[in-house]
Amino acid sequence: MATKSELKAKTKRLKEKVRALRERLDNAAGDPVAPPPKAPRPEKKVSPLAPRGGFPALPRIEGVEFATVEANVRYRGRKDVMLVRLAPGTAIAGAFTRSATRAACVLDCESKLKLPQPADAGAAIIVNSGNANAFTGRLGVEAVEAVTQAVARALSIPAERVFSSSTGVIGEPLPHERITAKLPELVARLAPDAIEDAARAIMTTDTFPKGASAEISGDGGPIRIAGIAKGSGMIAPDMATMLVYVFTDAKIPAPLLQQIVSRHVDDTFNAITVDSDTSTSDALIVAATGRSQAAPITDLDSAMGRAFADALHAVMLDLAQQVVRDGEGATKFVEIQVTGAADRQDAHRVAMAIANSPLVKTAIAGEDANWGRIVMAIGKSGARVDRDRISIRFGDILVAENGWRVPDYSEEAASAYMKNDELVIGVDLGVGDGARTVWTCDLTHGYIDINGSYRS
C-alpha cells in the first residue's frame, strides 16, 4: 500500500499533467479557455462615507439610452454589461490612462477619438465588468474588435463610433462571445431612464453606484448634464481615473468639448488617490447629444461657455470625490490643502506625497494625530521645501509652524479632531504662491481583506 507522502506526490504529478494538457489544448485552439463564471460575491457593506440618500435622481438626457444585462463575464447572478446608444450627431470627448500597459479597449478609444467625427452618425458605448481585457495580447485586440463591430451591426452605426471599456481582473482573456451573444437582449432593453442600472453594471469592488448631475439655464432652454462612474481601488490617476461616463444635451462641437474635459481633468480626477496605483483601463468619456433647445455653445469665453464648463467641472468633481468615498476599506474622507509652494506642480507633489503615504493613511485610520508623518511626506516629495517655514493644520487646529510644533499644541484637541469622518489637512510651505487640493482616504485592514481575496 502506498504511503501518504507517495499518494500526495502522485496526485501532484497528475495535476501537472492535466495542466500541461490544458495548455496544449489552449495553444492548439489559439484562444485560451475562458474560466467559467464564478458564483456571485456576498453582498458588500456600503461604505460609511457613501453619499446620504443613495443614488441621486439624475435627469434624462435627450438622445441617450441605456441597457444592462447579465452576461456572466466573470460572476453569475449580477448585471455586468451595459450598453449606451447615443443619438446621431453626438459629439464625444475623452481622457484615458497614460499607463504603459494600457488595455486594448483604451488604445481603441484613443485612436477613434482622433478620427473626424461625422455630423450625422450615431454612437455607442459598451462596458463590461469583471474582466479588464488588459495584458491579453492579440486576443485582447481581437476581443475589442469583435465586441465593437457586433455593436455597430446591431445598432447600424459605424464601428469607429463604438467605444468600449472593460474593468476587472488583469491578464485573463475576455470571453467576448458572452457579451456579443447578449446584444439582441441589450438592444431590446434600451431605455432613456435606465442610467442607475448602468451605474450598477459597471461596478467591481464598488460598494455603491455613483452618479451626479447639473443643470444650467441656456439661451432658449435648459442644458442638462448627468454622469456615472465606477472606482474603488487601483486609484491614482494619470489622466482621469476609473471608468466615467458623462452625458449632456448641450449643443457643442467636439473640439470645444475636448478642451473643457482636458482643462478640468487635473483638478478633478487627477486630484484623487486611494492607493497610489494607476489602472490599465482608466477612461473618461463625455458625450454631448446636442438635443437641448438651448443655443449652441461656440465660445468657451462667453457667459454660457463658462457656465457650461463650470457645471461639467462640478459633475466631474462630484464623481471623483465619490470614488474616494468608496475607497476600498475606507472610513475617512480626507482633503489635503497645500499652499505656499514654489509653484502648482510642487504643491501637487507635496499633496500627493501626503495622500499616498501608507504611514499617513494608517495614522488617519487609527485616529492618531501623528503630524510627524506629514513632515516626513513633505520631505520626501521632491518639492522645494524650507523646513523652518512649514506650517501644518488639522482642520482649524494649528499644530506646527516654523520648523517645530506650536507652543500651545494640544494633543487632546488634535486627537479629538481625528475622530471625524471627514478631515482637512492643511500644509503651507511658505516659499511661494503655488496651491493644490487633493482628496484621499485612510488605509485600513479592509483594504487588505478586499485585495487579498480579489481573484478568489
Domains of the chain, earliest start first: 64-325 (3.60.70.12), 333-452 (3.10.20.340)
- Could you give the CA distance from residue 236 to residue 211 in angstroms, rounded to a whole number? 20
**Please, what's the b/e burial string for 76-92 (b: 16 or more CB within 10 A of its CB; e: otherwise)?**
eebbbbbbbbbbebbbb
Determine whether the annotation assigns residue 328 to a binding site: yes
Determine whether the annotation assigns residue 204 to a binding site: yes
Determine whether the annotation assigns residue 248 to a binding site: no
Asked if 285 and 109 count as a contact pair (C-beta separation under 8 A), the reply is yes
* pLDDT of the residue at 439: 97
* pLDDT of the residue at 185: 98
Asked if 289 and 90 count as a contact pair (C-beta separation under 8 A), the reply is yes
* pLDDT of the residue at 339: 98
C-alpha cell at 225: 448634464
Taking each continuous run of H as one helix and of E as one strand, the counts in the chain are 13, 15
* Phi, psi dihedrals of residue 225, rounded to the nearest 5°: -135, 135
* pLDDT of the residue at 14: 53
* pLDDT of the residue at 327: 86
pLDDT in tens, 167-209: 989 999 999 999 999 999 999 999 999 999 999 999 988 999 9
Catalytic residue among 241, 248, 289, 440: 241
Residue segments in the chain with a per-residue pLDDT below the cut of 70: 1-43, 233-235, 237-241, 450, 453-456
* pLDDT of the residue at 16: 57
- Could you give the CA distance from residue 32 to residue 27 in angstroms, rounded to a whole number? 7
Determine whether the annotation assigns residue 230 to a binding site: yes
- Could you give the CA distance from residue 274 to residue 330 in angstroms, rounded to a whole number? 9
- Could you give the CA distance from residue 246 to residue 228 in angstroms, rounded to a whole number? 6
* pLDDT of the residue at 205: 84
Give, for 246, the enclosing helix (H) or strand (E).
strand 243-248
- Could you give the CA distance from residue 186 to residue 184 in angstroms, rounded to a whole number? 5
**Catalytic residue status for 241:** yes
Determine whether the annotation assigns residue 205 to a binding site: no
- Per DSSP, 229 falls in state E
pLDDT in tens, 299-337: 999 999 999 999 999 999 999 999 999 988 899 999 999
* Phi, psi dihedrals of residue 401, rounded to the nearest 5°: -160, 160
The type of residue at 292 is S
Q: CA-CA distances (angstroms) from residue 238 to 99, 132, 381?
A: 7, 18, 17
Determine whether the annotation assigns residue 129 to a binding site: no
Nearest to 233 by CA among 358, 131, 366, 323: 323
* Phi, psi dihedrals of residue 331, rounded to the nearest 5°: -130, -10
